[in-house]
Structure 1
Amino acid sequence: MEVHLPDDFRCPISLEVMTDPVILSSGHTFDRASIQRWLDSGNRTCPVTNLPLPASPSLIPNHALRSLISSFLAHRPSTTAADSSGDRRDALLLSRLSFPSDAPTLAAVLRLAQRGGRRLVADSGATSVLLRHAASSDRPDLQDLALRALLHLTLDGDDARLGLLAEGALDPVVSALRTSPAAALAATLLTSLAVVDVNKATIGAHPAAITRLVALLRDGDGRERREAATALYELCKFAENRRRAVRSGAVPPLVRFASEGSERAVRVLGLLAKCREGKDEMRKTIGFVRVLAGVVRIGSSRGIEHALLVLNLVCLDSEETALAAIKEGVLDLCSVLAGDMNQKIGKYAKELVLRLERRFGGYS
């Protein structure tokens, strides 16, 4: 008989066995990658209870559950008659996989990856077929299944993410950024691949990756823009990618997205403001200071934190921007926020007050 995995071991969102369980403030546990994607999409309710969450929810590692899952998996029977039969079916499925495939076959490969057969899929050579379908926009249904299966393969860890790029995943995934509805899923896949630091550099060096993410951020629908901003945030943790994003025109659509309430857009601006090119482009963007002041006024706690960081960096060596910030009421706002319980908000607010008063102590 097949060994039953306790339901508590499965993430309520992905329904997969959790590899990095974390506790949300609602008391429920989720796999970190799944709940982070939920929060990054702008949701501020618990997926289980639908009750509201704090503006900046904490994710607390559930070490006890992680230990239980590891212990259970380590001591469960390694083979059973049912397992052997299932393994034979899976091996037969993968051995017959070829390009072009069909929807039922790719759906079966996706289910195999979802239920824990990621290593089997990767080792079978099926990745090459999935990548060819990921690049083929003439069959959106097959492209979607292939991209979803590839995304699940990246969940097998950093070695899997490195291996996918080594197998040539970058060109097909970047190609998929051009076509809707595959674009959002392709951006999510790039985010997962970019978790590995060396992949950040490889993806950023691709001649079209960041350019197409910026185009998606500028012209895409709501989900596509969110996923593009998330991918850019992960990629721009690598310094050289910040300059690439600026040169690709990322600042204006990020400012526009921030004006619509996107906390992630503000966080990307926080990374871009760490390079000279980013600060220069922000100063030239019409409405930039007004948008950031609006975030400081009514944004989420994390949004306020990053907006203050950006304003500090951009006002550091620009009298014109500093004066614009004062005219937008930033000095008064920071005077209040300097005592905020959030240490980073208080710190950034105090620094900005000192910076603005030092330049324009007599301004009224």
Structure 2
Amino acid sequence: MAEIEVPPHFLCPISLQLMRDPVTVCTGITYDREDIEKWLFSCKNKTCPVTKQSLLDTDLTPNHTLRRLIQGWCTLNASFGVERIPTPKPPIDRTHIVKLISEAKRFPEKQIKCLRRLRSIASDGERNKKCLESAGAVEFLASTMKSIQIQQDSPVSPVWGEAAIEVLFHLNPSESHLKNLIHNEGIQFIESLFHVLRLGNYQSRAYATMLMKSAFEVADPVQLISVKSELFQEILRVLRDQISNQASKAALKLIVELCPWGRNRIKAVEGGAVSSLIEILLDVPERRACELVLIALDQLCGCAEGRAELLKHGAGVAIVSKKILRVSHAASDRGVRILASICKHSANSRVLHEMLQVGAVSKLCLVLQVDSSFKTKERAKEVLKLHSTVWRNSPCVPVPLLSLYP
């Protein structure tokens, strides 16, 4: 196709690719369906990309005439390797989805067939996802997951659960839908996700983790405070199993989201969070993941139990010190905060000696010299002053760094 010139009006104005399913918006401009749906629904734009006019009506009208012209042009240029684009399937009708869900509710034996059909519909573009949401598919999937949790001994339950959570994840429910779910279903929706986290296959557990992260981001404080200790154990299991980068980041964000509330820090510590996070920090290659681990450890070191666990781990202080000045300003700030928490609340002669041995004191001196934030430098200076009688004249601190000692 590179050897022939494509008529400009056959190209989508957004992607400049040959249109496969041309549709016209209310401003009269024609786009490829996939591109304009992504522009409107995924990117949440409310204007026409070409005219910049506001789109008060987001209905997309198929441009059959242009589509036939494109198909004819493809046929004429088949000898150049141009493949004829297939006639697109008509957009799904909301009435059809409502009928499908209604039948599944009335006839349980049709449930798995319905879930597979919903999964197929959801994979056909953003418009279909919006149509599914408006037809009540999100609520239906949530109720299906709840019923599966109750019927967990049924031989078909795992299949239903995997299908239901996959569709729900790919639907990517809007914030308002998630809020409604949590408001109407309350703890039941979270319990359903926890059930999948505990018993599902790897992929289902990944979906459950990412959905739970989105759900807790819009949850009420009461729901954040009342999470079970077992939830942290399952979140940490997702991290240890390394299902995917996406699932691991969602798990880390979940811990960060939950820790500030109520007794959640202690619940996380009891679930083994500190040692698991240190093990991840020893081997984490990606900057953002490293920052999230340090944020979580900083939160957990806000309680005595968390600090005790970090100090009990042979590599705890060493790996936190190592990450300072090696990852990012944000990571350095969190690393210094962790060391400050330990020095202020949990310091004894053994801890202070360990900090000298693993280079934490030298690293704090370096923080004062390099381009760090003002708050990070002030915190490092405060820690160094706090234990200057022990550290200042130690042979463990390199002589060039002693001049930086406050």
- TM-score, normalised to structure 1's length? 0.71
Query: 2:119 — aligned with what?
Result: 107
Secondary structure of the equivalent of 2:302? coil
Counterpart in the other structure of 2:392: 361
Change (3 A) 1:85 1:187: closer
- 2:220 counterpart of 1:198: yes
Distance 1:169 1:93 in 2: 22
Q: CA deviation at 1:95?
A: 2.7
CA drift at 1:173? 0.7
Alignment check: 8 A CA contact 1:273 1:310 kept:
yes
Alignment of 1:269-284 (within 5 A): 269-284=297-312
Match of 2:319 among 283, 291, 306: 291
List aligned pairs for 1:122-201, cutoff 5 A.
125-132=140-147, 136-138=157-159, 142-149=163-170, 152-153=172-173, 155-156=175-176, 159-160=179-180, 162-163=182-183, 165-166=185-186, 168-178=188-198, 179=200, 180-198=202-220, 201=223
The answer as to whether partners of 1:246 and 1:278 remain within 8 angstroms in 2 is yes
Q: Give aligned-pair identity as a percent.
A: 17
SS of the residue corresponding to residue 137 of structure 1 reads helix
8 Å contact from structure 1 (residues 258, 291) kept in 2: yes
Q: 1:328 to 1:93 in 2, by over 3 A?
A: same
- For residues 218-258 of structure 1, what are the alpha-carbon distances to aligned partners after superposition, in whole Å with 9 as ceiling and x for unaligned? 34445454432222121113242111101111111111001
- Structure 1: state its 5+ residue gaps: 20-64
Give the equivalent residue in structure 1 for 2:267.
Answer: 244
2:385 aligned partner, one-letter code: L
Of 317, 327, 330, which residue of structure 2 is paired with 1:302? Answer: 330
Match of 2:377?
A: 346
**1:22-171 correspondence to structure 2 within 5 Å:** 72=54, 75-76=56-57, 86-98=93-105, 99=108, 100-102=111-113, 103-108=115-120, 110-111=122-123, 114-115=129-130, 117-121=132-136, 125-132=140-147, 136-138=157-159, 142-149=163-170, 152-153=172-173, 155-156=175-176, 159-160=179-180, 162-163=182-183, 165-166=185-186, 168-171=188-191
Alignment partner for residue 18 of structure 1, among 39, 43, 63? 43
1:168 alignment partner, SS class: helix
Check conservation: 1:161, 1:196, Cα contact below 8 A.
no
Instruction: Please say if residues 2 and 80 of structure 1, whose CA atoms lie closer than 8 Å, have aligned partners that are also in contact.
Output: yes
Q: Which amino acid aligns with 1:190?
A: M
Write the distance in 2 (CA, Å) between the matches of 1:221 and 1:269. 22
* SS of the residue 1:315 aligns to: helix
Paired amino acid for 1:284: K
Taking a change above 3 Å as real, the CA distance of residues 2 and 123 of structure 1, as seen in their structure-2 partners, is farther
CA distances 1:146-189 after superposition (whole Å, capped 9, x unpaired): 4415x722533662352364272122211111332211221111
Partners of 1:164 and 1:202 in 2: CA distance: 16
Establish whether residue 327 from structure 1 lines up as the match of residue 352 from structure 2: no
Do the aligned partners of residues 86 and 334 (structure 1) sit closer, same or farther apart at CA in structure 2, a change above 3 Å counting?
same
Q: Which runs of 5+ in 2 are unaligned?
A: 1-22, 64-89, 396-406
Q: Provide the residue aligned with 1:232 in structure 2.
A: 255
Across the two proteins, how many residue pairs are aligned to each other?
Answer: 314
Tell me by how many angstroms 1:78 deviates. Answer: 7.5
Q: CA deviation at 1:110?
A: 3.5
Mark the CA change 1:132 to 1:294 in structure 2 (over 3 Å): closer, same or farther.
farther
The 1:243/1:110 distance shift into structure 2, 3 A limit, reads: farther
What is the CA distance between 1:313 and its match in structure 2? 0.7
C-alpha separation between the residues in 1 aligned to 2:62 and 2:325?
A: 63
RMSD value, Cα: 3.8
CA radius of gyration, larger in? 2
Instruction: Measure, in 1, the Cα distance between the counterparts of 2:164 and 2:269.
Output: 30
